[in-house]
Amino acid sequence: MSKRPPILQLKSLTKSFGTFNAVDGIDLDIAEGEFFTIVGPSGSGKTTLIRMLAGMEQASSGDIILSGTRINDLPANKRPTCMVFQSLALFPHRTVGENIEFPLKIKGVDPAQRKARALALLDQLRLPQNYYGKSVLRCSGGERQRVALARALAFDPKILFFDEPLSAIDYKLRKTLERELKDIHRETGKTFVYITHSLEEAMVMSDRIGVMCAGNLVQVGTPNEIYSAPKDKFVSEFMGDVNVIPVSMNGSRTITADTFDKTFTVAAIPEAFSKGHLVIRPEFVRFVTEAKEAENVLEGKLYNEYALGSRIQYQVRVGENVFIVEKLRQHSSTLRRDQTVLIGWDAKDSILVTG
Amino acid sequence: MTDRGRRALIWAWTLAVLVFLYLPALCILLASLTASRYFLFPIQKWGFDWWRKTFESLEIRQLFANSITIAFCVMVIAVVIAFFGALAFARYNWKGRTVFQKIVLLPIFFPQSVLGLALLLWFNAVGIQTSWMTAIFAHLVWIIPVVTLVISIQVYSFDPALEEAAFDLGASRWQVFREVTLPVLLPGIVSGAFFAFLLSWGNFPLSLFTTGADATIPKYLYAKMVAGYTPGVPVLGTVSTFGAALLLLGGYWLVTLRRRAQS
Amino acid sequence: MAAPHETGKGLSQGARNALPLILFMIIGFAAPLLAVIAYSFMPPRSFGLTHAPTLDNYADIFTSNSYISFGWSMLFAALTVALLALICYPIAYGMARLFGRWSPILTLLFTIPLFVSENVRLYGWILFLIKNGVLLGTLKSWFGIEPESILFTPGVVLLGMVYVYLPFMLFPMTLGVSMVPNETREAARDLGASRWQVFREVELPLSMPGIMIGLLLTFVLAVGAIAEAKVLGGQTIIPITHDIEIAFTYAQNWPLGAALAVLLMIVVGTLVMLVLKRFDLDAILGKR
């Protein structure tokens, strides 16, 4: 956790539509200069949350505190924050330069200074200077992205909000822009609050991540914490392909699967745990030849295999249950479909979650 | 049938229908260029005499003034009301929206001659003398909905995030409106204005019952047509046809130029 | 304008924008129609609204031969709509699918006549069809034949109506046809449908909203047509609108005219309501 003072504090922030709470009492501190990402599936309330923070939705209850001041009742145009929209919302009737200068024009900055600032921002965002007079309609996806960011930076906000701005961009360019955004974050030292449905995207860029589900923040932590110690089934499944088995406590280090007859050994059982889920990441599951090679071993049939670049993922069926196993690609794979295989993992690699 | 054959057939049919559409205009043009009192085809003697005589007539000048005044007033009022109407029609999600949309369409789907008579009755019932001013009102009843639809089509493609972005960047409500909403919707507003002006200029069924003692060009022409042949009729007919065509083609040309300049 | 806070106070943003238009329609559309309805219950040949209501005008209509005019209007409107559907569909299809960069300029060419008053355009047909006019004059001087003019016959009235209302059918239809995603046609073809099957199973149902609006619009306008019969038809056909106009003008019997107008409004209104109820305007006009 960061020791810097919080720039933004949310206190039981709630947004209700009728009886439905889209955002359900969120408490959160975001530190100055932090890159904080809120990640959640669609409908989890993350867009409503960021729109409240930016001032585009009115909070139903709770507080939004910016640098010690409650800003709930400030409209968006009076808040010293700025948002990069999902659609980017570049003004189609304006040039790149006019778009970037827009907040300066509103503030009444004189034209010469405006232009100098716009050119400096073009430079900072790796856009050529001659783009100043170009129509935004003629810019490519990546360029438009940078113009939108430049326009937000021209406003010189205390906090920059991002509402999934990369969601419509193809994979390869998205990867580049993610890194660029993190570089810009480093260069400007500003606080970034980012929203996405992709945990992968969140992992790449963020200092801290908040996982959101049904209007609540389920877990907040560094990317590493979220990855290695997911708090519940939802978070662990949201992380990507994992093996999740509903289990109940059996002994001091043993648990029993609820849906089939098998007992597993784990490193430790958390206090107050009686029922929950056993989570094992596919990269920790391996093929074994003998039962004694791993602490937990299951026998199953290989159903299919999927190439994932440097790794290969296998689907193994154990009775009614499906397990996934990942291993690094090797030149000679001896595994065949419908072959009977033994899979296993060690107690230290299993995670127990209550939810 | 081959694709090419089908294509050619559809093209031929379309062009034939266009000829059908413009044939009467051509006949009117020819008639206006006849020098004799009566129209006989093939034309024996050509000349601009009737054009000159028509435009020297004070009555006709008054008609032009009437028609233009009415069309201009209709345009201004219709565009203002329809602009906000279009925002309600296509931009905001509000409770009464679907009902409002049907209300807007209703006058368009209504026989204009009956509407004209209904308005005549209404003016009479509330004691208003019909004149060019009541004609403006009558035209608006039909034209505001049309213009609302025209502007709505532009509003549908408007991204509300643009307004939010401007607001978020510190603009006041008025600045958002002036700097973003209005300029982005301008093409729709301009075409709405064209529609309003031209529809009013060419309207006959509403003007017939609601202009009172004042006359517009379509109403005057109708009176002359029913009364018998005057060569002034083809002249004015030609003017109104070509006027509309020039205005529209000019507008289209401007739009294309603007689009070219942008890209 | 930007909606920073949708507060619950007062009217919603949308309602506030709709207000001027709604107010105008109340005094400019709803009130006149109510006035017509009120007049239709006044005693024949009265001019005020202060008399005791009566059903005399409606009784008059059902005992007179106004139903003939009604019949003519309905018949001609139906024929106009049917002809226009056949004439416009290939053009709409071409506009939406084949003409490409030509379609804006073609659209423009089809639009221009909309802005010229219908009587002027119909007058052109008189000049074309009249004895010694463009058609007959040419035939006479080139081929020496002198057929009778077809002017002032019911057929010409129909021609005039088809001619005047063509754009009103064409544009909604084009909108409808362009609503059909190309992939669905290709998918249907790919799944083995013949051209005719593609048309029946995919093209037609998907473009139906636009087509229905075109049919409805032209029908309503054609029922209310007045200039065609007057300018081109001589007195061979008396449409209902003519009866209404006569009642209001020469006959000076406003209540009778109002009653006729009410009957026409009922027919048209029912039809419009039935059709419009079924369509989602947002989908037709292109909401994202």
The predicted-structure confidence for A41-59, as pLDDT tens digits, reads as follows 998 999 999 999 999 999 9
**Mean pLDDT along residues A290-295:** 89
Pairing of strands A159-163, A61-66: unpaired
- Taking only the tens place, the pLDDT of each residue in C50-59 is 888 888 888 8
Domain count, chain C: 1
Number of inter-chain CB pairs under 8 A, A vs B: 66
Per CB-CB distance under 8 Å, the chain B contacts of A159 are none
**Mean pLDDT along residues B250-257:** 83
List the single residue in C4, C6, C7 with the smallest CB-CB distance to A76.
Answer: C4
pLDDT class of B262 with cuts at 50, 70, 90: low
Cα torsion angle, B182, B187, B193, B196, sign: negative
Is B101 within the bounds of a domain? yes
Q: What's the CATH number where B184 sits?
A: 1.10.3720.10
Task: Say which range, B33-42, C96-105, C135-144, C156-165, has the weakest mean pLDDT.
Answer: B33-42
User: If you write DSSP's letter for every residue of A116-184 in order, what string do you get?
Assistant: HHHHHHHHHTT--GGGGGSBGGGS-HHHHHHHHHHHHHHT--SEEEEESTTTTS-HHHHHHHHHHHHHH
Closest-CA residue of chain A to B180: A91
Per CB-CB distance under 8 Å, the chain A contacts of C5 are 57-58, 75
- Taking only the tens place, the pLDDT of each residue in B96-152 is 898 999 889 889 988 888 999 999 989 988 989 999 999 999 999 999 999 999 999
> Tokens at residue B161, please?
């995030």
- Taking only the tens place, the pLDDT of each residue in C174-222 is 988 988 888 888 888 888 888 888 888 888 988 988 899 899 999 998 9
Per CB-CB distance under 8 Å, the chain A contacts of B164 are 56, 76, 83, 85, 89
Q: CATH code for A241-353? A: 2.40.50.100
CA distance A75 to chain C (A): 6
In chain B, the percentage of residues whose pLDDT exceeds 90 is 43
Q: Partners of A297 in the beta sheet?
A: A344
**What pLDDT sits at residue C288?**
46
Domain count, chain B: 1
Determine the distance from the C-alpha atom of residue A350 to the mean position of all C-alpha atoms in its chain, rounded to a whole number. 23
CA distance C4 to chain A (A): 5
Is C89 within the bounds of a domain? yes
Cβ distance of A77 and B165 shorter than 8 Å = no
CA distance A70 to A72: 6
What's the complex ipTM? 0.88
Is B105 within the bounds of a domain? yes
pLDDT class of C287 with cuts at 50, 70, 90: low
Q: What's the CATH number where C200 sits?
A: 1.10.3720.10
Is B5 within the bounds of a domain? no
Is C208 within the bounds of a domain? yes
Identify the chains in contact with C, defined as 3+ C-beta pairs within 8 A: A, B
- Taking only the tens place, the pLDDT of each residue in A330-341 is 766 778 889 999
CA distance A164 to chain B (A): 13
**What pLDDT sits at residue A331?**
64
Q: Do residues A197 and A214 touch, judged by C-beta distance below 8 A? A: no
Q: Residue C225 gets which letter from DSSP?
A: -
Mutate to test the interface with A, among C5, C6, C288 (most CBs of A within 10 A): C5
- Side chain identity at A99, as an amino acid letter? N
Q: Does C7 touch chain A (CB under 8 A)?
A: yes
- Taking only the tens place, the pLDDT of each residue in C140-171 is 888 888 888 888 888 899 999 999 999 999 99
- Taking only the tens place, the pLDDT of each residue in A223-257 is 999 988 888 889 988 877 889 999 998 888 889 99
| Domain spans, chain A | 6-233, 241-353
Cβ distance of C216 and B39 shorter than 8 Å = no
Determine the distance from the C-alpha atom of residue C198 to the mean position of all C-alpha atoms in its chain, rounded to a whole number. 29
Q: In terms of residue numbers, what domain contains B88?
A: 52-262
**pTM for the whole thing?**
0.83
In chain C, the percentage of residues whose pLDDT exceeds 70 is 95
- Taking only the tens place, the pLDDT of each residue in B208-242 is 889 988 888 888 888 888 777 778 888 888 888 88
- Taking only the tens place, the pLDDT of each residue in C11-60 is 788 899 999 999 999 999 999 999 999 999 999 888 777 888 888 888 88
Q: Does A18 touch chain C (CB under 8 A)?
A: no
In chain C, the percentage of residues whose pLDDT exceeds 90 is 30
Question: What CATH homologous superfamily does A6-233 map to?
Answer: P-loop containing nucleotide triphosphate hydrolases (3.40.50.300)
Taking CA atoms, A299 is separated from A30, A288, A296, B118, in Å, by 47, 10, 11, 86
Q: Does C139 touch chain B (CB under 8 A)?
A: no
Is B43 within the bounds of a domain? no
Question: What's the residue count for chain B?
Answer: 263
Give CA angle at A75 (A74, A79), nearest 5°.
70
Q: Residues of B near A (CB-CB distance < 8 A)?
A: 159, 161-162, 164-172, 175, 179-180, 183-184, 186, 262-263
